[in-house]
Structure 1
Amino acid sequence: MKTVFVTVGTTSFDELIVSITSPETVQALTARGYERLVLQVGRGSLVPAADSCPHVTLEAYRFKDSIAEDIEQADLVISHAGAGSCLESLGAGKSCWSSSTKMMNNHQLEMARQLHMDSHLLYCTCSTLTETLRAMDLSVLQPFLPGQPKNFAHFLDKALGVQ
């Protein structure tokens, strides 16, 4: 069953939850073959009922110790633009979206825009989410290669004369 996982992290981002569960967005998802929608709603005031989105299986929860399993099971991850969520999704090799209007002028938005410019993820706002879903081409995304911490450790060792 093709699954979309939406995460807002530990924040409150009701605008994203309203956008993803709107009839127009659900229709765009089902037109793309998605049948399951899993929402991690964080501290938001909205926890949609399981029957609130016709034509998709909907699950919603506030928090879990880890969202790694939800990311792994998802075919598409839509994130609130949190650095951790984006990097965890990309590191798992999942197509990732970043959707934020509430985080203007901060490092998370800057990171999401840079990852978008580098073709690692798609970026949109809640107001453009439905249209972006309709027009998306996930084949243009480039794999996000994990960091190489050993190279940095080697550099430090050499710079400090340890090696």
Structure 2
Amino acid sequence: MDDIDNQLQSKRIVFVTVGTTSFDSLVKTVDTDQVKEELLKKGYTHLVIQMGRGSYIPKKSSGEDGSLVVDYFTFSSTIADYLKSASLVISHAGSGSIFETLRLEKPLIVVVNEDLMDNHQSELAEELAERKHLFCAHPQTLYQVIQSLELESVILYQPGDATPVAKLINRYLGFPSD
């Protein structure tokens, strides 16, 4: 039993999520030997990729040869469990994925999908990176971001209090205030 507990405690999982979209360039990038070797060097043991609607299939690995254990899936009814068990999250720039990860206080690298038109998501990711809540990358810079990753530099994100805004909206709509 102690052996199993030690194995679970020593698991360091990198969870990659693309949400409901297709973001093959991110999946291809994390599937490169270069990125996987760098994650291994950083002490991570497992790579779990949620690949969404993408068509690129990553290479699975059992890790028996001393490499990263790699697994993937397309969709899950909830990614909350994957996020909770992750030591590092690499995510597309969707606001839901970003804020759910920050709420769980997980280290986060947001990878901007440059193929999207009107990419307001990149503005959010870049602003949060500037405030040191997360790291921001593009598929072609992800390796360098992982290589220079300094998790100690992250400032925990403190969500704002939406109560004043909700009260103002309720008053405007004519609902009773508390």
The verdict on a shared fold, with TM-score over 0.5 as the criterion, is: yes
Q: Name 1:24's counterpart in structure 2.
A: 34
CA deviation vs aligned residue, 1:40-75 (integer Å, no higher than 9, x gap): 000000222322876011110000001000000001
**Relative contact order higher in (CA < 8 Å, ≥ 6 apart):** 1
Q: Name 1:57's counterpart in structure 2.
A: 69
* Structure 1 letter corresponding to 2:122: L
CA deviation vs aligned residue, 1:123-158 (integer Å, no higher than 9, x gap): 011111111101111111111112323232234456
**Alignment RMSD:** 1.9
* Structure 2 letter corresponding to 1:61: F
Q: TM-score, normalised by structure 2?
A: 0.84
Name which of 121, 128, 132 aligns with 1:115: 128
3-state SS of paired residue (1:76)? strand
Distance 1:121 1:105 in 2: 22
Distance 1:46 1:122 in 2: 25
Sequence identity (%): 35
Q: Name 1:34's counterpart in structure 2.
A: 44
Residue 160 of structure 1 deviates from its aligned partner by 6.5
For the pair 1:79 / 2:64, whether they are aligned, the reply is: no
3-state SS of paired residue (1:75)? strand
Q: TM-score, normalised by structure 1?
A: 0.91
Number of residue pairs the alignment of both structures matches: 163
Q: Name 2:164's counterpart in structure 1.
A: 151
Q: Which runs of 5+ in 2 are unaligned?
A: 1-10
Asked if 2 retains the 8 angstrom alpha-carbon contact of 1:103 and 1:109, the reply is no
Distance 1:80 1:145 in 2: 21
For the pair 1:9 / 2:19, whether they are aligned, the reply is: yes
Asked if 2 retains the 8 angstrom alpha-carbon contact of 1:79 and 1:99, the reply is yes
Residue 102 of structure 1 deviates from its aligned partner by 2.4
Asked if 1 retains the 8 angstrom alpha-carbon contact of 2:17 and 2:50, the reply is yes
Residue 105 of structure 1 deviates from its aligned partner by 3.8
Residue 107 of structure 1 deviates from its aligned partner by 1.6
For the pair 1:106 / 2:116, whether they are aligned, the reply is: no
